[in-house]
Each structure stands twice: as C-alpha cells, then as structure tokens.
Structure 1
Amino acid sequence: MIVPTLLHLWKTSTAIQDARTTWPINDGSNTNRTCLQHPPLRAHQSKLNDLKSTTTNYTILQQPTPLRCGNLRRSWTNVTSLSPLAQELLEWQADCSIPTATFHLDNSFGFGSHLYLFSQALCNAIEMKIRVRTVLVDDEPWLWWDQYHCGQTDSNKAIVQSPWDCYFPLAEPSCPISSVSNVNITNPRNPRLRCQRLRNNETAVQEFRAATIEYLFHAVSPLVLEEASRQIGLLFPNGQAPPDLITVHIRWGDKFWEMDLVPIAEYIQAVEQLVASSTDVHIYLATEDPRATEEFVTSAPLHWNIYIDRTLVELKDVRPNKGNRASWMTKNTEGRAGLMNVASWLIALEANRFVLTTASNWSRIVNDLRKNVIDPRCGNCTQVIDLRPGIW
C-alpha cells in the first residue's frame, strides 16, 4: 500500500501541501509521559535586521500542553563497549593524577567544528602528557549552550564548568585544575602543529576523530535524550522511527566556499539506489536550509514519506535570508539551536541507511557514530552513500 508523505508543520507551497498528506501525532504508549518543554522563543527585529519579517517581535514556538514524547530505538545512556581508542581517551581524561591544562575554545564556526577542534586538542594534550579542561575565552557562555535548559544565566553561569557539561557530561571529569593549567595546548587549527600520531597520516586522523566523537556520545545527558524524545514525538506518527528509516543530510547555504554543493537530483538518485524497488520509503531529512527542503520534497516521488528536521521547522523564522550562518542563528536563539542539533544527530542515527556529505562536519559526525557505535552493535547493518567525502 502506498502511504502518504509526512510533512509535519512544514509550511511551503500550496502545490506541495496538496500533493502530500500531513498525519496527526499518535501518542500510543506514551500517553502518561510528558516531554521536554521549551518556553516560547521571542526575537526582536533589532537583532534580525536582515530578515523579511516586519513585526517588532514574535513568538516562534508554541507547543501543545501537555506535550507527549516519543522513544529512541537506540540507547545513548551508557554505551559501554567502546572501541580501544575511545576507551583510551576515556581513561586518560578520567585520570585525575595527570596534570591538567586548559584549552580555550572560542565561539567561532559551527557545532561540529568545535567537536573536531576538541579532538585535535585532546591528541595534542596526550602527547604533552596533560589532560584537557576546555574553557571559554573571557568566561563567555558557549554559543551552542541552550541557555534556558543549561542554566546559563548571569546569576548561575558558574554551574557549567566545561562547554561540554550540559550535553556530554562525562567528556571532562571534574578533577582539580592543576598548577600547569596555564599551559597552552598546541593550536588545533594548525595542521602543521598536530600531535605526532596524526601528522601526515589521514587514516590516523579519521580514526582519532571518530574515536573522539564516540567517546563524547557514549553517555549523552538526560537533557539531550529528552529533547530527542520531544522531537521524535512530533516527527513520527507512533512516536518511534520506522525500522527502515533513511537519513538524508543536505548541507547547502554557504558551504559552497568549501565544497561543490550537491544538486538535489543526486540526493534523489542516491535514495533510489538504497531503496531499489521498495514502495515503503521513510526519510528523515536533516537540513537547516528551507530551499533545499522544498526542492527535495518537490523532486521526490509522491509515495516517499519525508520527515522534516525539527530544527528547520521550529527555527525557520530566525534564519537569515542568505547563507547558513548557523552560529548567528544559534546566538539569536540563546543556544536553543545547539540542544536541538545534538538531538537531531541522535534521531539521524535511528536509521540504518544514510545519504551524507562528509565534507560537512554534521554529516561526518553521523558517519563517525555510524561506524564506531552503530555497526559494531548491529553486525555492520548500515549502508552509506557519501556524495562529498571529506576530512577536516
């Protein structure tokens, strides 16, 4: 039977809406469980001077009360069977006898870029025989913290000791800061200053990056799990991802500076390659780009079920007209986009099949977790088509 496509709360052209059916949320077994609530997000025109909106202020998100949430099929509470390299990183960071040095993380670039910078800083620190304690320049709140849920207000800023604490609480255990805390960890942005084990060795770089992401995600915070459950409850009719889900990540916007953008036709062809002749197709479309979403939806066969990334749906009113500018949007939402982004990674990993562009950090993180976490636990059950391979 051909099933109508899901376009939850996605408001686009009349032609698309007429061609596809929107399904209501079926709470199923979750009727007694409430989910994470976000306060209405208010933005002022003075902060959004390049948006088309002409109102002085507006509310972006109004959720039903009480909100019912869904369930992740895969567990991210305590992934114990780490790869040997990820286990090495965990044991190193947990050893409070090792001197600690602070690594200053600035608020530039995207979320994924920050995680890979931490990976390189960690390798550099291990070579220097020190542990990493990541801090922010001038004690500013991390751009990607959800300031409402992570407690980042002026009165309780000190609650969070590391930028990772709110989302990855075991990334940097709370050991006392040692007397060498002023040591400068070699600049992770400079490839010529990389630790010896990664220098001029692309395979080693890929393995170390993937192990770091595995290590960070081996125990995500309850807050992230609640946000993922909230999004799943809004995405899927029965509050759970279909077992045959395909994740498609589209990175357009300003990424043309770093890679040739992938035409929508290539994404469609990649999905068709994965599904063969199946008529029961379920796609999680992970993207923050409204234009890419509309083109994918209009180009896809009508029987495909497409579930739109909640980050796009809920924060579309605070996007700039041009480019991606994820950092700008995150700052303007007081970090809410950061929490939503971590949760969307977990939702993307509910799939067994993926269409990615690993020249993008977002796709690369999905692929690292696919290789290091999902495949070892499901007997290499996943498939991936990488339309733009890359490595930072």
Structure 2
Amino acid sequence: MAIELTMPALSPTMEKGTLAKWLVKEGDRVKAGDLIAEIETDKATMEYEAADDGRIARLVIAEGTDDVAVGSVIALLASDDETVPEPAMADTAPAAALAEAPAPAPAPAPAPTPEAAATPPAAELPRKRPSPADRIKVSPLAARIADAKGIDLGGIAGTGPNGRIVRADLGIAPLLAPAPAAMAAAPATTAIVAPPPAGVPVETVKLSSMRKTIARRLTESKASVPHFYLTARCNLDPLLALRRQLNAAIEGRGVKLSVNDLLIKAVALALQEVPDANVQFGGDVLHRFARVDVSMAVAIDGGLVTPVLRDVGALSLSAIASQSKALAAKARDGKLTPEDYDGGTVSLSNLGMFGIDEMVPVINPPQALILGAAAGVEQPWKVDGKIELATIMAATASFDHRAIDGAVAAEFMRAFRELVETPMRLTV
C-alpha cells in the first residue's frame, strides 16, 4: 500500500511552507534517509528526507508551490509493482484537516486510534506512515513538538476537539508573547502598497517566505513596540590589542576570535551586571531572565536569520568563537534547525565589517533589546589625559520602553562600554 509523504512541521510555529524544489522525479527509487525535497520556511530552506524505502509514485504538489499547509500530502511512495490511485483533494485537503474532523464514537477501548474510528478500509486509501498522531489523539504540530522535546503524550489529557492533544496542552510557552488586550484593541493599520512608477524599467520578483516574514515581523515591531535608542562610543583599541594577543596564543588550535565574538561576550556580561535590562514585556507581567541567550544576526542570501548562542555568560571566548562560526555556517547553508534559532533574550547586529559608521537596529520581537555595532573609525580621542588617534566604535541599542526605562538602559550601555574598553574582564 502507498505511503503518504506530508508537508512536515519544521518548527513549532510553522503552519505553512513553500515546496521550493523536488530533488526526485516520479518513478525514482529512494531509500530511507535520501533527500527528496527542499522545504522553505520563514527561517531557512531545509531538506526533507524519505523515511521509508520505495518508489516515488506521484508528486502531488508541484515545486515552487507556496503556502502548503503542514500535513498536506505532497507525494506518494509505493512499491515497484504497486498502482497508486489518485488522492482525493490531495492538493487542497491536508492530512491534518482529516485528523481534525470529529470521529464517530468507537467501541470502548483503552486508547482508540483515529484511523479505527474514521478511516475507510486500507484498500480504499493509501496508508500513512506511523507517527505519534496515528497512535493517540494529537495534532500534527503537537506531535512534532513532543517528539522534539521528548515529551510523553501518554499521560496528557487533551483539551482539543474530542479530547485531542494540542500545542497548549504540552506546557510549551509560545514563542511570541500574546498581545495585551489594550494593544489588541488598537486599530490595525494597513500598509499602503504602491505600484512601481510608470515608464521605469522594473523587474518584479516574488518574495520568499523568509522575506515575507521579515517584512511582517519588523513592521509589527515598529508599529507596536515603543522603541527608544541610546548610543555609546567605545574605544576599540584595547579590545583589538587583546584579540591579537589571544589569537596568537591559541594559534594552531583551530579557533580564531573575531571582534564579534568579544562583543557577544561583552553584551552578556553587561546584562549580568544590569539584569533589569535582560527582560521581556509580557502584557500584564514582566519576564526576567536568569541567563543571557544572544541572538546573533547573520546575513544570508534573501534575508537575515538570528541563530542563538545559549548562556553566553558561562561560555569562554573560544567556545563563543566555535559556536558562532558553526551557527553562521549552518545559517548560510540553510541547515539551521528550530533549536538553533528559537528563543534568545537579546540580539546583536554587527555591521562593522561593512564599514558602517553608525546603525540603529529594529527590535527583534518579543525581545526588549537589540544592540547594533558599527565599524571602528580612527579619530581624535582623549587617551590617558592626552588627545590621540583612537579607533572608536559607535554602539547603538534599541530598547522596548514598556520593559526597560531610560536609566536602566543607560546603565547597560555604560557597562557595555566599560567591558569593551577594559576587555581583560571578558576573559575572567
């Protein structure tokens, strides 16, 4: 019997994706683990592996199709001599939607399966690959999260339709804090999209899922988060000198410290000194974080992603360098997993390598703080009581005024500047 291959949920919040490219064609033989497609999400383009051996009997969804719902049948896998019937409404009726339909009451049993109550005989429909959703009543999204987090679904009482386990039943905090009632009641603003000017040669390019998500999230950030900005100018020369010394000392170990690595550490230690800035607005509450997880902005083809370094305050500089290099490489190769970019308590965006004199970043919601680092510019500066040339970096941070007040923000910027200008503290 044919096996349905469905659009996977590649992150806890994914509801739709773009089937960017098929890596196989109808009739191809595949083995479990073979790459068969590229799926584009709002964060990255990820490869989809076959979970069973067989022959690609039908590609149900054409490559390049946008907004394919999680759970939709995208292809059918069959044995060599098997004839596969046309899937009913395969391109519009996702498997997840079938699972959501109320099922007739089954005969009393300890744990009835949805297929036993609702699915016609196996001869009439292709069989689905076994999954947690096939064994107990659970939504596909909740099943994927449970599998990723190692959550036992057996003892969880579902609150969804017919006792179905949904995401909220897993006790997983939402990635985006719910908007407070006052904000929800505010009138929504509709962006005015103007056509290109007449008579000007133009190429119109379709937006990727990532670019759409960036546009939506940053528009929401500027529209709903009250930003305010502080700039501190830091003498980079001590930090640059320490970096040279440390790299000379660890030469040959496969690790090389970048300026960005030291800035990441400085952000984390500054937030440890000023914990009131390591917070997140939560409507009627304020979330205070006990550790610093830094989202590191990485520019990739078609957009920007922010992989996260966890508990940076406890990491050595060499560990930060190794992790940041690995995450940047995964980001550029489109190999990031949801665990790589979920969360983060603060963001760092560094454009210094592009020679930018100053930048004012936009907050990455639901975080309350993002620091933008510019290039070091040689200019006159007071050094040890004398006017000399020094390499000065403008660091500008954007704060969510609902969570962080001006005085707290100023304390954070002072702590950050002192760490940059006395960088030996980063090594202790």
TM-score, normalisation: structure 2: 0.25
Greater per-residue helix proportion? 1
**Which is bigger in relative contact order (C-alpha 8 A, separation at least 6)?**
1
Greater per-residue strand proportion? 2
